[in-house]
Structure 1
Amino acid sequence: MTTPKNILLTSKLPNTGNSIFSKMTALAQQYQAINLAQGFPDFPVDPKLLDLVSSAMHQQANQYAPMPGLPLLRERIAEKYQSFYHVNVDPESEITITNGATQAIFTTIATIIHAGDEVIIFEPAYDCYRPTIELFGGKVIAIPLVAPEFTVDWQQVAEQVTDRTRMVIINNPGNPSCTVWTKEDLLQLQKIITRHELIVLSDEVYEHIIYDERQHQSALLFDELRARSFVIASFGKLLHCTGWKLGYVVAPKELTAEFRKIHQQNVFSVNTPMQHAIAAYLDNPEYYHELSTFMQGKRDRVINGLASSAFRITPSAGTYFLLLDYKNISHKTEMDFAMQLIEQHGVALIPIAPFYHHATEQHTLRLCFAKKEETLDRAIQLLNKVS
């Protein structure tokens, strides 16, 4: 069906098409390639967690949850922050359960950004940041970071702040950069946001997937940052259930109150039985401690498996991704080379260039290793044949 000619339709996001994730997954399906492009596990969710969901459903926990989220689940989250970071978070007034991390990001931006406000982001950036800022009339100020280190020049950041700057968005650990910010990075950010009275959106969905004994530097660990930050987290990343779309946001009481005004209008409440199940499942905090070891084993399996390949691999500091540099193989653009891998070798990776507003060709592709061992071994075998 076509739109009738008498309907005037003006797109609010005229420059936004299908995400690179959707494109690469569709191509993987078309060519029956191993999909290491989109970031989702292909191994099953813990049967114990599934049983807890079923139990909650049979116990009739099937009606609306409270708008901010199930109280017990918010208490579990507060316990985590006390255990991991020795930070006190009020489950009643500072934690809101959301329909995934992306909804939390969307609602945070909707809460803060007015027409004409400027928002600083770091590229390569998760692809929902820019469209959401623009949807609410904001202007994106993108600071490009260069592979493989993706180091932030904090003097450059300070120079980008104007009287219109309202927010800084950070992603730590970084997707797709696979980097982890240091304490010094967060201290530098704190100086800037305090001096200019800015808000921070800290996307920390991979906080528990950090390697080689690094420590996650949450925005909640820094007093001035905490007072001005929305911290976003994801149960999908934590529990290997990305399709459940469950996350949460932690923010000071005053910011949370404004966040919930919008949250209740566009979501209101989030899946009730799954909230009950996750609250019961996370009664054992050991799961948080096991996740990095579990994922590091997969990371190292890929690194070791491709050690003799033509790719140059940057070991991931965090997230469940690796970056593969193919300069020794081809001078094709990232998209063209990714297509070659799909069509000729049966493996789907994702180019980094689309994560920049102005496509930046660095001959680098992202690989998701949150997969079964047999999936990874088959992909390693295929990638080793690329020359």
Structure 2
Amino acid sequence: MASAGSNAPLIGTSDEAPAPWKRAALGANLLSPAGDLGVTIFEEMTTLAVSTGAINLGQGFPDEDGPAEIKAAAQDAIAAGANQYAPGKGVPALREAVSAHQQRFYGLAPDPDNEVLVTTGATEAIAAALLAFVESGDEVLTFEPFYDSYGAIIGMAGAKHVTAPLLAPDFLPDLETLEEAFSSRTKIVLLNNPHNPTGAVFPRSVLARIVELAVRYDAIILSDEVYEHLTFGVPHMPVATLPGAAERTITISSAGKTFSFTGWKIGWLTGPAHLVAAVRTVKQFLTYSSGTPFQGAIAVGLGLPDSFYLGIAETLRQKRDVLAEGLRAAGFGVYNPSGTYFINVDTGPLGISDSVDLARRLPGLVGVAAIPVPVFCHPEGAERTRSLLRFAFCKKMDVLEEAAGRLATLKERL
């Protein structure tokens, strides 16, 4: 969503084809109806949080580092001289660790040599895959609300962005509506599971329907699973494990969400060799490679025992519950997430229908910043989610406790 105070209009006349960067801005909701270029809602809310001294529960990044042994492995690698270009497809140790991880948790066994590709975070993996396979006239289907970079890259690639709504309270799709969203032009189904921003974890029945429709329309499934280990009481099920899916699915994950090293930007994708080769062809002309000492360190992390993975999910669940209590005390309708580190609320019980307006007032009202969900939607979806706010709970417990206390005063301050 473009914020106020933008510069002069940047969109050309109606008969002028938008430049790729303009299509990216349109796809990410960064252009106003008048064509003014604005900052992202994340930048706007962060600026508000800083200026008011508010606790920033808007942008989803942890406020503490991950495991010490992973940091030590990176430091050792730097000291040992692992500071030059990594191979374009990633250092062998990380590709082997990704393959072993997939086998250990899901029974999948991608070949480290030609079915695993290391990327500069999951965002590059998504971008390289979309740029590899879609062109003007193609359709890319995502679920809505959608992570903003999806719309940006779809627009940059010149494809049409089609959405299927996720419906409260469980934020799962209506399967008949989902089928209607497919067409003969559907080239890619971009799945995000567990889902940001809603926190939904798709059950097998939904995943099976996605696979069935992708097979019918011969679409590639691009599955963003970066929150795979951050689920609460429900197991994560990679779509590639379902019958008929593996041969058409590219699965994406990253170190940022699992290990809380978002600044390292180490991601990866797995899939059939011919699909991975196509993505690698594009990726090598984007960043080529990145983060050599970090890649080896993340390989160490992927080998951590099951207790680590169980522990991060349980700790996050406790944090979710602390924040949820404060949000309920504030008077919001709270949708408890099954995964990710985001919780959504409905402002309607407070008599407020415009979450964008409330998000801009909230830092000054109670000293907490959040993100309005409509910014993750096309216009129709924005109206459907008009009263929803997203809060991140990937913060230290004392920070969340303070935020919960501040939020509990909201009703009296309105």
Aligned to 1:220: 240
Aligned to 2:13: none
Contact 1:76-1:282 within 8 A present in 2 as well: yes
Contact 1:118-1:164 within 8 A present in 2 as well: yes
Matched, 1:201 2:255: no
Contact 2:197-2:373 within 8 A present in 1 as well: yes
Aligned to 1:113: 134
Matched, 1:317 2:338: yes
Matches within 5 A, 1:174-253: 174-212=195-233, 214-253=234-273
Larger RCO of the pair (alpha carbons < 8 Å, separation 6+): 1
What is the deviation of 1:225?
1.4
- Matches of 1:146 and 1:154, distance apart in 2: 11
User: Alpha-carbon deviations, 1:204-231, whole Å to 9, x = none?
Assistant: 110100002x111101211421111111
- Matches of 1:102 and 1:144, distance apart in 2: 22
Aligned to 1:33: 54
- Matches of 2:133 and 2:77, distance apart in 1: 36
Aligned to 2:3: none
Of 189-198 and 147-156, more deviation after overlay is shown by: 147-156
User: Alpha-carbon deviations, 1:325-356, whole Å to 9, x = none?
Assistant: 22122324111111121112110011001111
Aligned to 1:367: 391
Give the secondary-structure state (helix, strand or coil) at the position aligned to 1:140. Answer: strand
Name the TM-score, length of structure 1 as normaliser. 0.94
Identical-residue share of aligned pairs (%): 35
When the two structures are aligned, how many residues end up with a matched partner?
A: 381
CA, structure 1 residues 230+19, in 2 after alignment: closer, same or farther (shift >3 Å)? farther
- Matches of 1:52 and 1:297, distance apart in 2: 29
**Residue type at the aligned position of 1:364:** L
What is the deviation of 1:357?
1.1
**Residue type at the aligned position of 2:391:** L
CA, structure 1 residues 68+262, in 2 after alignment: closer, same or farther (shift >3 Å)? same
Structure 1: gaps (5+ residues): none
- Matches of 1:257 and 1:56, distance apart in 2: 28
- Matches of 2:124 and 2:351, distance apart in 1: 38
Give the secondary-structure state (helix, strand or coil) at the position aligned to 2:223. Answer: strand
- Matches of 1:10 and 1:115, distance apart in 2: 13
- Matches of 1:30 and 1:332, distance apart in 2: 25
Contact 1:20-1:354 within 8 A present in 2 as well: yes
Contact 2:353-2:386 within 8 A present in 1 as well: no
Contact 2:101-2:302 within 8 A present in 1 as well: no
Aligned to 1:140: 161
- Matches of 2:303 and 2:141, distance apart in 1: 38
CA, structure 1 residues 76+21, in 2 after alignment: closer, same or farther (shift >3 Å)? same
* Shift >3 Å, 4+ stretches: 8-11, 304-309
Structure 2: gaps (5+ residues): 1-6, 9-15, 31-38
- Matches of 1:124 and 1:377, distance apart in 2: 28
CA, structure 1 residues 339+282, in 2 after alignment: closer, same or farther (shift >3 Å)? same
- Matches of 2:243 and 2:88, distance apart in 1: 28
Aligned to 1:255: 275
- Matches of 1:308 and 1:28, distance apart in 2: 22
Matches within 5 A, 1:147-166: 147-166=168-187
- Matches of 1:135 and 1:151, distance apart in 2: 28
Give the secondary-structure state (helix, strand or coil) at the position aligned to 1:145. Answer: strand
What is the deviation of 1:305?
4.3
- Matches of 1:183 and 1:332, distance apart in 2: 34
Aligned to 1:278: 298
Give the secondary-structure state (helix, strand or coil) at the position aligned to 1:260. Answer: helix
Contact 1:299-1:322 within 8 A present in 2 as well: yes
Aligned to 2:20: 12
- Matches of 2:17 and 2:219, distance apart in 1: 35
Please, what is the CA RMSD of the aligned residues?
1.9
- Matches of 2:389 and 2:100, distance apart in 1: 38
**Residue type at the aligned position of 1:230:** I
- Matches of 1:87 and 1:45, distance apart in 2: 26
What is the deviation of 1:130?
1.4
Give the secondary-structure state (helix, strand or coil) at the position aligned to 1:200. Answer: strand
**Residue type at the aligned position of 1:215:** P
